[in-house]
């Protein structure tokens, strides 16, 4: 009897402790922390491990203030000091654009850093992700991101590009590198990959782990925002193709220590940038050897007939997009003897977490045999 | 008689045409154009040649909306569609920080690009200036601005700096360059000189005109915002001096093609950055050969006694600040046989137009005899 009582008591204690542990875990998940992409020293906006966003703003005279994220507007509540606070439903892991709405005015949240997306510079938030260490700033050798202005005759102006050079680029004045041309999506621009995409930190971390060959990444404006959304059918790739292939690539090859040949040149893009990547790689088979589409279309063997097979075709998407279409396309390409790879980002949609992960997966596959 | 009538008539015609011309000029001065630092495709905010700022925002439910610029809040007026519009009094030429106030909430204007100043990322406006061509984007060879992450043991992190390399830097892999270390002011950061300061465009234009020797500019965060404003008396320069002199300079000399000696190293700063420049150049006479203070203090001969004279001391200010103090100080330095130069920016105060012009004046004086 004594034993069974003891066992019962121990079991009870165990169950109680389990309950406490779960409750603590619960409360840890609920606990809000400042978003990692806040303005310096700002406590709000905050995020928790569930992916909820909590925003706060002082607006003593306002009648209605809302947090506008993921296509939903969440009412915020005013305290007696005129401070409005509100929370969203859980968001997917990773980066999201958002804004505040104050008595009908849609404005950036002054607490967050600003990012170019949705055709504007506006607020962004970074929800904790289980794999966030892939793009964290770590104590490893860092490459640099250079803003260049390159001459463009076809558009009669100086155009901007960002150039990632890997750690050691400046120290080894004789080493030459392959180049990845990496495009943003509709409503974004050349700052989107280095800012919210964290392309440089992803590369620094991969290189520090010895998981990828060092290469240069060039990111320029894809001229995608000059079309109306939905006007894709009439999209003419020629103006951007001219800028990229006839103006930017020669400038990069002239000013950076590149391996200036097809074998050492890849193109990738997300969404509208994937659409551009597909069109340009198909139009210009002599320029790029590896092609990557993130959340934007696929290749089929028919389109690639009668030409040298690319070294790599990489097609990715979020699990909340259309993963089956990507898997099927890659399976068809493999059947036709293409070196094709698919990647599905678990639990993410048409947003930057899908694309950060896609770059992380793509990079180790590029330029494997440096020629 | 006929002649005098003709002359009278001609004179009348002339006066009439003069009147028309003046009226046209008047209306041209009043005419608002989009600010050159607006978000892509945005019409508002606008500026006119008088320096007035016109802002506009949709806020149908708001009770009160104000344009907050230059320490003054201007009431905006709502039309029947819920669009608020308002104008400021004339502002000085050049760049100004501003914000909107919507029912008590101070927020960035979503129409403008965002700049770091006043301890936040927020809206900025650029008022036309008679000398704006010195910082305009022109069809000339362009240098690049590189964002680097350098290791800092003393602060146990990777720190950010922006590095301007002049046109041709990448093309001449053997040429070495002098370096200017250029500091921002209180409430600003390492992005302020390349963004609102337009340091790269000022240099590109000077170099294209053959008015300056090519040099590298390094801009890092001066750690100035970690003190309370007014707490200057207790400001300890040591932490930043360690980062700059013991960590950043060796990193730059190791990773860029610099002329790594005192003769080819200058330091300049604006406001709080001038204060830092003065302290560090006095503490470390072996590191820099040219010193420049923009809108922040002066040197006197006593402070520089018993050491090798610097190659150049440059001290500048806006005419709306304290130009007499600068002129007097430089006159004293000259009397004591220092190579000292003063510059007063006409019609500007403690703002970036003063500092853009100061850099434009300073650059041609630096590294005249490349050693």
Nearest to A177 by CA among A266, A245, A268, A257: A257
Which band of pLDDT confidence, cut at 50, 70 and 90, is reported for residue A15?
A: low
> What are the chain A neighbours of B45 within 8 Å (beta carbons)?
none
Closest among B145, B153, B163 to B252, alpha carbons compared: B163
- Residue A280 buriedness (CB in 10 A; 0-12 / 13-18 / 19+): buried
CB contact under 8 A, B105 and A256: no
Cβ A102–B103 below 8 Å, yes or no?
yes
The number of distinct structural domains making up chain A is: 2
Question: Does B123 lie in the same domain as B250?
Answer: no
DSSP code for B190: T
Domain boundary among A128, A148, A172: A128
Residues A138 and A118 in one domain: no
Q: Which domain holds residue B167?
A: 133-365
Confidence (pTM): 0.90
Q: Is A142 left (phi over 0), alpha (psi -120 to 50) or beta?
A: beta
Give the single-character DSSP code of B136: S
Q: Which of A113, A139, A255 sits opposite B170 (nearest CB)?
A: A255
Note the pLDDT of residue B288: 98
| Strand (E) or helix (H) holding A204 | helix A199-208
Give B261→chain A minimum CA distance, Å: 19
- Cα A123 to Cα A55, A180, B16, B150: the distances in Å are 11, 28, 54, 27
pLDDT, tens digit, 9 for 90 and up, residues B34-49: 999 999 999 999 999 9
Do A239 and A172 belong together in one domain? Answer: yes
Closest CA to B250 of B151, B145, B371: B151
Q: Which of A76, A101, A128 is the last residue of a domain?
A: A128
- Domain-located, residue A24: no
What are residue B204's phi and psi, to 5 degrees?
Answer: -55, -45
Q: What is the pLDDT of residues A63-87, one digit of tens each?
A: 999 999 999 999 999 999 999 999 9
**By C-alpha distance, which of A57, A43, A39, A202 is closest to A113?**
A39
Given a cut of 70, whether residue B18 has pLDDT beyond it is no
SS (H, E, C) A212-241: CCCCEEEEECCCHHHCCCCCHHHCCCHHHH
Task: State chain B's mean pLDDT as an integer.
Answer: 92
Helix or strand run (H / E) with residue B33:
strand B33-34
Average pLDDT of the residues in A8-36? 67
Decide: helix, strand or coil at residue B47: strand
Q: What is the CATH number of the domain that holds A110?
A: 2.60.40.10
Q: What is the pLDDT of residue A271?
A: 97
Read off the pLDDT of each residue in A163-179 and give the average, rounded to a whole number: 93
Q: For position B214, which CATH number holds?
A: 3.40.50.1820
pLDDT higher than 80, residue A10: no
Average pLDDT over residues A325-334: 98
For the segment B166-181, the average pLDDT, to the nearest whole number, is 93
Q: Based on the domain organization, do A324 and A344 belong to the same domain? A: yes
Angle, CA B14 vertex, CA B9 and CA B19 arms, to 5°: 125
Among A149, A156, A247, which would you mutate to test the B interface (most chain B Cβ atoms within 10 Å of its Cβ)?
A149
Across A6-20, average pLDDT: 56
Give tens-digit pLDDT for A147-160: 999 999 999 999 99
Chain B nearest-CA distance from A41, in A, is 9
The predicted structure's pLDDT at residue A321 = 97
Asked whether residue A10 is assigned to any structural domain, the reply reads: no
Q: Residues A86, A216: one domain?
A: no
State residue B25's pLDDT score: 53
Residues B200, B296: one domain? yes
Of B60, B122, B163, the CB nearest to A110: B122
* Residues B185 and B72 occupy one common structural domain: no
Q: How far apart are CA A352 and CA A193, in angstroms?
A: 9
Residues of A in contact with B108 (CB under 8 A): 107-108, 110, 114
Q: Which two tokens stand for residue B190?
A: 């390492």
Contact B149 A137 (CB under 8 A): yes
pLDDT averaged over every residue in chain A = 92
Does residue A18 have a pLDDT over 60?
no
Q: pLDDT digit string (tens) for A284-298? A: 999 999 999 999 999
ipTM passes above 0.85: yes
Angle (deg, nearest 10), helices B352-362 and B199-208? 30
- In angstroms, the CA B314 to CA B342 distance is 6
Instruction: Work out the average pLDDT over B115-135.
Output: 96
Q: Give, in degrees to the nearest 5, the angle at Cα A135 between A130 and A140.
A: 120
Which of A108, A158, A189 minimises the CB distance to B139?
A158
Is there a single domain that holds both residue B199 and residue B54?
no
Considering only the beta carbons, identify the residue of A39, A105, A254 that sits closest to B57.
Answer: A105
Q: Which of B288 and B23 is assigned the larger pLDDT?
A: B288
Claim to verify: residue B205 and residue B347 sit in the same structural domain? yes
Nearest 10 degrees: CA dihedral of A236, A241, A247, A252? Answer: 140
């Amino acid at each position: 009897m004594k034993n069974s009582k003891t066992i019962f008591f121990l079991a009870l204690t165990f169950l109680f402790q389990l309950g406490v542990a779960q409750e603590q875990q619960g409360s840890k998940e609920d606990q809000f922390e400042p978003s990692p992409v806040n303005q310096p020293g700002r406590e709000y906006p905050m995020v928790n491990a569930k992916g909820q966003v909590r925003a706060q703003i002082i607006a003593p005279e306002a009648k209605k203030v809302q947090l506008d994220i993921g296509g939903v507007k969440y009412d915020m509540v005013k305290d007696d000091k005129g401070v409005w606070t509100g929370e969203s439903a859980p968001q997917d892991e990773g980066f999201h654009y958002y804004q505040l709405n104050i008595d009908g005015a849609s404005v950036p949240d002054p607490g967050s850093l600003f990012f170019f997306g949705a055709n504007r510079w506006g607020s962004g938030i970074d929800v904790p992700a289980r794999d966030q260490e892939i793009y964290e700033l770590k104590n490893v050798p860092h490459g640099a991101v250079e803003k260049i202005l390159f001459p463009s005759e076809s558009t009669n102006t100086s155009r901007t590009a960002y150039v990632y050079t890997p750690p050691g680029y400046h120290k080894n004045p004789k080493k030459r590198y392959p180049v990845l041309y990496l495009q943003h999506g509709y409503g974004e621009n050349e700052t989107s990959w280095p800012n919210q995409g964290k392309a440089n930190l992803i590369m620094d971390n991969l290189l520090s782990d010895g998981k990828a060959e060092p290469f240069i990444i060039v990111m320029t404006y894809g001229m995608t925002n000059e079309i109306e959304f939905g006007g894709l059918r009439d999209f003419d790739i020629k103006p951007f193709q001219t800028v990229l292939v006839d103006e930017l690539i020669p400038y990069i090859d002239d000013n950076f220590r590149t391996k200036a040949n097809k074998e050492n040149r890849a193109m990738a893009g997300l969404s509208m940038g994937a659409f551009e990547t597909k069109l340009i790689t198909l139009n210009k088979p002599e320029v790029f050897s590896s092609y990557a589409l993130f959340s934007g279309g696929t290749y089929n063997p028919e389109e690639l007939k009668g030409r040298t097979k690319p070294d790599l075709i990489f097609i990715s998407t979020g699990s909340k997009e259309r993963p089956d279409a990507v898997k099927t396309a890659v399976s068809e390409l493999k059947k036709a003897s293409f070196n094709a790879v698919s990647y599905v980002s678990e639990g993410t949609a048409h947003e930057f977490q899908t694309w950060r992960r896609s770059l992380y997966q793509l990079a180790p596959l590029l330029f494997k045999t440096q020629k």
